Amino acid sequence: MTIVQYRSWRWSLAGFALMLSVGCSAQNDGPPLSDVIGNITLDGQPLEQGRIIFDPTDGVGTSYGAIIASGKYNARLSAGPKSVSIFSYRPSKTILDFEGNPSVEQFLPDRFNSKSTLTAEISGERKQSVDFELQSK
C-alpha cells in the first residue's frame, strides 16, 4: 500500500466513524411522540383489517399511519389535532385483475377515508387511547 492509498483509506475510515457518531446520536429533532392505541368497529363488529392514517389539521407535524388488525391499531403520533382516514379492503365480486382473479375493493364509505369527517385530538400524553365506532349506514 502506498502512502497516498494509506492516507486515503485513513480519511475514509475517519469519515465513516464521524457519520456513525452523528447518525447514532441520542438527540431527536422531531416532536415528542405519544403511543396511541385504539379499537375500530364497523356496525359494532371489530374491523378485521385495514389502515388508519392521521394527518395534522393545523399544518404542524407529519402524517402517520398504522395497520388495523382484528379491530386494533397502535401508532406513535405527535400531539395536536388530526384528521383521520380509515381504509379497509375485501375481495371484489365484480372487478377482476389482469389474471382473471378477484381484485380488492375499498368498502368503507367515503366519509371515513377520501372525504373523511373523522378527527382526533392527540394530547401529547405518553399513552392515549382513541377508538372509532363506524356505522356503515
**Looking at the domain assignment, is residue 59 inside a domain?**
yes
pLDDT digits (tens, 9 = 90+) for 56-115: 998 777 899 999 999 999 999 999 999 999 999 988 877 777 787 778 888 999 999 999
Q: Quote the CA–CA distance of 50 and 73 in Å, as a whole number.
A: 9
Range of the domain at 109: 33-134
Query: For position 28, what pLDDT does the model report?
Result: 57
**Looking at the domain assignment, is residue 109 inside a domain?**
yes
**Looking at the domain assignment, is residue 97 inside a domain?**
yes
**Looking at the domain assignment, is residue 16 inside a domain?**
no
> 65: alpha, beta or left, given left = phi > 0 and alpha = psi -120 to 50?
beta
**Looking at the domain assignment, is residue 19 inside a domain?**
no
pLDDT digits (tens, 9 = 90+) for 103-119: 888 899 999 999 999 99
Cβ burial of 53 (10 Å; 0-12, 13-18, 19+) is middle
Q: Say how many domains are in the chain.
A: 1
CATH code, 42: 2.60.40.1120
pLDDT digits (tens, 9 = 90+) for 13-27: 445 444 544 444 445
**Looking at the domain assignment, is residue 2 inside a domain?**
no
**Looking at the domain assignment, is residue 17 inside a domain?**
no
**Looking at the domain assignment, is residue 11 inside a domain?**
no
